[in-house]
Amino acid sequence: MLKCENVSYQYSKKQVWWIKNINLSVFNECFWIIWGNWAGKSTFLKCILWLLQYDWSINIEGFSPQDIEFKKKIWFMPENTYLYKHLTGYEYLEFSLRFYKKDKDEKNRIEEVLNKMSLYEAKNKKLSSYSKGMLQRIWVWGAIIHQPKYIFLDEPMSWLDPIWRHIIREIIKEEKVKKNTIFINTHILSDVKELCDRVWVINKWELIEVEKTYKIDNIDKWFLNKIDIKL
């Protein structure tokens, strides 16, 4: 169980709210967060992960963000790829495993991932030579290769062509089968409908709706209605 109570964040110099009074409980589900630009989606994830600190309560299975057990259970993939470009693809995945003190004999796991992402031939090339799509693919796998229980993905399918978007969706489905809890920020409503168990909408920095996706017939119209946009 991930539980958030009264999560708010204010840009102090201008006294502008980025998010306000968010209360949320999530357990063993894929939870999609959708909202317009500049609504606070990345800010909210950073608050959960304690990258931004204010006055609120957050815990995972009873552990607070300051506890090492909290950190062991999570991984955060930001929207922009902050990769160590001097590493090769293989070295980056190995680093992702060893950072969480996984056994060195996880070599087979790395080889499996590289093959699955069609990056095996590029495994010894530096990430600085990778295309945007290649970086995005290895960025996603770097987030889940050590098998965290709580996965936070911010725009995981940006820069991907339709084929790789499909593959990444299948990977997320596999993580759902493992009963992992997944947070994903996206503007792509078709992905929301296909993958998530519940959808969470924020508008003007506040939570306005939480709904189970199977109850939504036309998610585009539903979303536009919730944020009161007339086209």
155 with 214, same domain?
yes
Quickly count: other Cβ atoms within 10 Å of residue 224's Cβ: 14
Q: Are both 66 and 170 inside the same structural domain?
A: yes
pLDDT tens-digit readout, 48-78:
777 776 666 777 788 887 788 888 888 888 7
178 and 229: one domain? yes
**46 & 139 share domain:** no
| Mean pLDDT computed over 37-58 | 70
Same domain flag for 193 and 107:
no
What pLDDT shows up at residue 122?
A: 95
Same-domain check for residues 153 and 69: yes
Mean pLDDT throughout 142-162?
83
User: Which CATH number belongs to the domain containing residue 183 in this structure?
Assistant: 3.40.50.300
Q: Are residues 64 and 155 in the same domain?
A: yes
- Is residue 63 located within the same domain as residue 156? yes
As for how many domains the chain has, the answer is 2
pLDDT per position as a tens digit, 174-213: 888 888 888 888 778 888 888 888 887 776 667 767 788 8
- 6 in the Ramachandran plot: left (φ > 0), alpha (ψ -120 to 50) or beta? left
- Report how far residue 17's alpha carbon sits from residue 14's, in angstroms, rounded to the nearest whole number: 9
Range(s) of the domain holding residue 94 = 81-148
pLDDT value for 35? 61
Same domain for 136 and 161, yes or no, is no
pLDDT of residue 40: 63
Residue 96 phi/psi, 5-degree rounding, is -60, -35
Residue 225 has phi, psi (to 5 degrees) of: -65, -40
Q: What is the pTM of this model?
A: 0.78
For the chain, the maximum distance between any two Cα atoms, rounded to a whole number of angstroms, is 56
Beta bridge partners of 40: none
